[in-house]
Amino acid sequence: MQQGQHVDESNAAVSSSSTTRRRGFSGLFKLSRRSNEEKKRKDASNQVYVAVQEFKPTYTVIDEYWVKEPFAKVYIVMSPELGVGYHYFVDEVKLDGRERDAYEKLIAIISRELQAPETLDVDAASYVLSEAKRLTEKYRRSIAKNLDGESLEKIYYYVVRDLAGYGELNALMLDPNIEDISCNGVNKPVYIWHRKYESIPTNIRFVDEFYYDNFIIKLAHISGKHISSAHPVLDAALPEKHRLACTFMREVSMHGSTFCIRKFRPDPFSVIDLIKLGTFNARLAAYLWLLLENKMNLMIIGGTGAGKTSTLNALTSLISPNDKIITVEEVAELNPPHENWVQLVSRRGFAFGVSDTTSISLFDLVKLSLRYRPDYIIVGEIRGEEAYVLFQAVATGHGGICTMHADSLDHTVKRLTSPPMNVAEVYIPLMNVCLYVSRVDLPNGVGGPRFGRRIRDAWEIIDFDKYNHIASWLPTKDVIELDLNRSVLLDRIAEKHGVTKADLLKEIERRERLLSIMAEKNIRDQREVAQIIMRYYYHNRGLSVPAHLEAEEQVQGGIEDLFRELMLSVDQIAPAEVGMIPYELPKAQEVREAREMREVRETYEAKEARKAKDKLILLSWTVPQIEKAEDPSEDFPKESEGESGG
């Protein structure tokens, strides 16, 4: 028994020892796995996906400014070690070790506990910031231990930048001086187009291809579109209305994914902005204003980045406020300041095969727009068969405005009359005016802007191969020469309204003075400019401003008073002269009384005219019968029958 008991105890001891060893191995394995995971996490946190070159004090600084103070600053530098030309450097605030750990913890917590907003009409950056602050307060001991307010603000900046922004490119997206951002592949610097320094490289480059491809997918998802190896080309719009074009992996671009972001100004250029920038002068703007008021058709041509869309968007504020406008675009860029506006955007389908019934092209949308009875159809850019439909619409009496890639009117007409547009030559004169806008070098010398955008030429299209060149830009003086005395369209408008061409020229001068004074007073906001132009239309025709616009004006404040002040300034420069539409500043009550008196007078005159007409008809009928009748007392028809029977 004792021997058996000893054996059992020995077996138990061996079993206990084995269990202890297994537990020890398991613990070591778990510890090793945990340490490996920690090492991977640290390695991942230390891995560089986007290389950002550090700014050095030895660089020659040409310009510097904040894009988000005090977290992100921009330097325009030159240095022999960087190469020839300017270089764009982004310098962001740095996180120390404790701040980096807190940032990673907060990102992990947000990924688990971020609550969806109640509505979609929220600003993503503001919402992420509020959630980051809420979760930091909830897990203060874990995240914000031993961190002051300044450190937390730095952490919040990076959280918003990486979750709701564009990561390392966010500072570029915030810079209002940048027109477009592009990258041509991995290990190549991101390039920008600066309004002052033109095309220059940045200190940012993607160094990890997998991360770069995921960044392209993120851009596509942000824009609400899809990109993949099956559909490797994308043309879309980001939430801020920036235009995005990109390719995915090596399907169509041999060096990997590429992208180009053409930034959209949150505050678009107005007519006053373009006058101040010198794109066109106030007289040319007043001339175009009068043409658009009279439903003339307009085409803007130019090269890539010439400013066609910006010019078109600015000119829409000159259209009469009562006109119905329909815009047709591939990517939504236009934003007319009108209430009666329908915005149509084409859609690309994802169906494979020959037949694709899910796509909606510009051609389909232009055809659809005709059923809306528009006053103006505005096509963002014509390049295919939609041009034929647009010219057909113009031929039926609709107004048409569009842009097109071309460098001269002759090349424009050749493109229009060739496939795939196929516009007949007899339809070419229906597009009444053509403006050629271009990026040009300016003769401003040292200190002035080196380049700008100008309306280089303006033509009135009289007939096929017959053009009236009315405006041209003089490069040596940087001025636009405009000769409206030669205008054929003004002759047509004068004949249509029963006025003289001199009256129209006086009206153009009056509008030119108004636009010039607005430029001097820096009244440049697109909505404010549109409100003043709308009031010019109403008051110039002796009409009162609609009640709902008056209510909006009371909320906005001061528009009506500002308009009266502007018109007083116009009349002080030169008293109001009798032109096409005499201008006066009537009060609403006086307008209503005058309208009522005019209606009473017109009603009375109409009644008197009808009475006189009836008397003339009766007289013209009875006189011949009296001459034929032998007995005036007899019935005229009966006497006539007797004569015919006798």
pLDDT digits (tens, 9 = 90+) for 290-342: 999 999 999 999 998 899 999 999 999 999 888 999 999 998 899 999 999 99
pLDDT interval class at 98 (50, 70, 90):
very high
pLDDT digits (tens, 9 = 90+) for 597-623: 556 556 656 666 666 655 555 555 544
The predicted pLDDT at position 536 comes to 92
The predicted pLDDT at position 286 comes to 97
Q: What is the CATH number of the domain that holds 317?
A: 3.40.50.300
CA 631 vs CA 311, 482, 620, 624: distances in Å: 81, 77, 20, 14
Report the helix count and the strand count for the chain, using DSSP H and E. Answer: 20, 19
Asked whether residue 427 falls in the same domain as residue 458, the answer is: yes
Q: How many CA atoms lie within 13 A of 49 on its CB side?
A: 13
Asked whether residue 26 falls in the same domain as residue 161, the answer is: no
Look at the block and give the residue holding tokens 């405009």: 482
Asked whether residue 42 falls in the same domain as residue 56, the answer is: no
Indicate yes or no: pTM above 0.85: no
Q: Are 234 and 253 in contact (CB under 8 A)?
A: no
Asked whether residue 43 falls in the same domain as residue 133, the answer is: no
Asked whether residue 29 falls in the same domain as residue 137, the answer is: no
DSSP state of 117: P
CA 505 vs CA 72, 116, 271, 412, 497: distances in Å: 52, 59, 20, 29, 14
d(CA 629, CA 501): 58
pLDDT interval class at 571 (50, 70, 90):
confident
Is residue 31 predicted with pLDDT exceeding 80?
A: no
pLDDT interval class at 354 (50, 70, 90):
low
The predicted pLDDT at position 615 comes to 56
pLDDT interval class at 14 (50, 70, 90):
very low
Average pLDDT over every residue of 464-469 = 95
pLDDT digits (tens, 9 = 90+) for 204-239: 999 999 999 999 999 999 999 999 999 999 999 999
Asked whether residue 38 falls in the same domain as residue 70, the answer is: no
Asked whether residue 11 falls in the same domain as residue 110, the answer is: no
The predicted pLDDT at position 122 comes to 87
Average pLDDT over every residue of 79-95 = 95
Is residue 34 predicted with pLDDT exceeding 50?
A: no
Asked whether residue 175 falls in the same domain as residue 305, the answer is: no
In a domain, 153, yes or no: yes
Q: Of 539, 569, 534, 565, which is closest to residue 552 (Cα–Cα)?
A: 534
Average pLDDT, the chain: 83
Instruction: Enumerate residues 6+ apart whose C-beta is below 8 A from 416.
Output: 387, 391, 423, 428
Instruction: Enumerate residues 6+ apart whose C-beta is below 8 A from 405.
Output: 301, 302, 303, 304, 381, 383
Q: Of 164, 381, 376, 407, which is closest to residue 262 (Cα–Cα)?
A: 381
Average pLDDT over every residue of 279-284 = 96
What's the order of all strands across the beta sheet hosting 479-482?
341-345, 325-329, 376-379, 399-405, 298-302, 433-441, 451-463, 466-474, 479-482
The predicted pLDDT at position 247 comes to 97
Which carries the bigger pLDDT value, residue 38 or residue 471? 471
Is residue 378 predicted with pLDDT exceeding 90?
A: yes
The predicted pLDDT at position 322 comes to 85
The predicted pLDDT at position 33 comes to 47
Percent of the chain with pLDDT over 70: 77
In a domain, 248, yes or no: no
Q: Are 66 and 52 in contact (CB under 8 A)?
A: no
Q: What is the CATH number of the domain that holds 197?
A: 3.30.450.380
The predicted pLDDT at position 539 comes to 77
- Full domain range(s) for residue 631: 599-645
Average pLDDT over every residue of 35-58 = 72
Least confident of 14-18, 530-534, 619-623: 14-18
The predicted pLDDT at position 44 comes to 56
Percent of the chain with pLDDT over 90: 64
Is residue 551 predicted with pLDDT exceeding 80?
A: no
| Residue count (the chain) | 646
Is residue 85 predicted with pLDDT exceeding 90?
A: yes
Quickly list DSSP for 155-221: HHHHHHHHHTS-GGGHHHHH-TTEEEEEE-STTSEEEEEETTTEEEEEEEEE--HHHHHHHHHHHHH
Q: Of 266, 346, 262, 277, which is closest to residue 311 (Cα–Cα)?
A: 277
Asked whether residue 520 falls in the same domain as residue 455, the answer is: yes
| Burial category of 604 from C-beta neighbours within 10 Å (exposed 0-12, middle 13-18, buried 19 and up) | exposed
In a domain, 420, yes or no: yes
In a domain, 59, yes or no: yes
Is residue 264 predicted with pLDDT exceeding 70?
A: yes
Ranges of H-type helices in 52-138: 97-113, 124-138
Asked whether residue 24 falls in the same domain as residue 121, the answer is: no
Is residue 22 predicted with pLDDT exceeding 60?
A: no
| Six token digits for residue 583 | 């201008």
**Total domains present in the chain:** 4
Asked whether residue 497 falls in the same domain as residue 544, the answer is: yes
Q: Are 203 and 52 in contact (CB under 8 A)?
A: yes
In a domain, 8, yes or no: yes
pLDDT interval class at 288 (50, 70, 90):
very high
In a domain, 223, yes or no: no
